[in-house]
Amino acid sequence: MKRVAIYTRVSTNDGQTTENQLRDLHQAAERMGWTIVAHFTDEGISGAKGREKRPGLDALLKGIARREFDMVAAWSVCRLGRSLQHLVSLLGDMNSRGVDLYLHVQAIDTSTPSGRAMFGMLGVFAEFERAMISERVRAGIARSGKKGGRPPVDPAKVDKIRRALLKGTSINETARKHRVGVATVHRIKVAMAEPIAA
């Protein structure tokens, strides 16, 4: 008998209810002869949020890590998450623990050969999505003519920071007064201590 954990989620504006999701998943479990051993839910939470903002998902992942069930059943892939990368990462965790996934709307069951093939395809698409995002970021930087990283500090401000440090003002106080990061002030102080090349 397969031990199944159900995961349901609704956000505030998608018109879904967990009751609808539960009804379909209970019917599927009955049809397949599964035993539902746990139910995790997140209500009024966007699928774009990570596990730290989704207590139901966090508890589900802890149950997966402890191998408390053989399969996770969700109504649709979008209930688990909006990001393909997050989904593939979740599926990777489940796969490494030998826990399968059933998605009702997409009719995916990773305990079957066709479901495993679909899982493999999701990984390919996630890799493609990562490459596309990276390419768009590079193209955006090239178009704007900007270099990556933080913009340089204004030379007049650097001069004021140097003067403050020479007066004995602490790094933290100087950073606060001139509205720059502590690391920036530290970098300027280190540069001041370096000997000037002849």
Compute the half-sphere exposure of residue 70: CA atoms within 13 Å on the CB side of its CA.
Answer: 9
C-alpha to C-alpha distance for 133 and 146, rounded to whole angstroms: 18
Q: What pLDDT band is residue 197 in, cutting at 50, 70 and 90?
A: very low
In the prediction, which pLDDT does 54 show? 86
Retrieve residue 48's tokens. 């774009």
C-alpha to C-alpha distance for 20 and 69, rounded to whole angstroms: 23
Residue ranges per structural domain of the chain: 3-129, 155-193
Mean pLDDT of the residues in the chain:
81
Superfamily of domain covering 3-129 = Resolvase, N-terminal catalytic domain (3.40.50.1390)
pLDDT at residue 97 greater than cutoff 50 = yes
Q: What is the average per-residue pLDDT within 157-163?
A: 90
Please give the model's pTM, rounded to 2 decimal places. 0.59
Q: What pLDDT band is residue 147 in, cutting at 50, 70 and 90?
A: low
Question: Would you give the distance in Å from CA 34 to the centre of its chain?
Answer: 30
Decide if 99 contacts 67 (C-beta within 8 A).
Answer: yes
pLDDT at residue 133 greater than cutoff 80 = no
**Is 96 an active-site residue?**
no
Which helix (H) or strand (E) covers residue 56, if one does? Answer: helix 55-65
In the prediction, which pLDDT does 198 show? 42
The CA-based dihedral angle spanning residues 133, 139, 145, 146, taken in that order and rounded to the nearest 10 degrees: 10
The single residue of 11, 96, 111, 170 carrying the catalytic annotation is: 11
Percent of the chain with pLDDT over 70: 80
Tell which wins on pLDDT, 10 or 12.
Answer: 10
Decide if 66 contacts 97 (C-beta within 8 A).
Answer: no
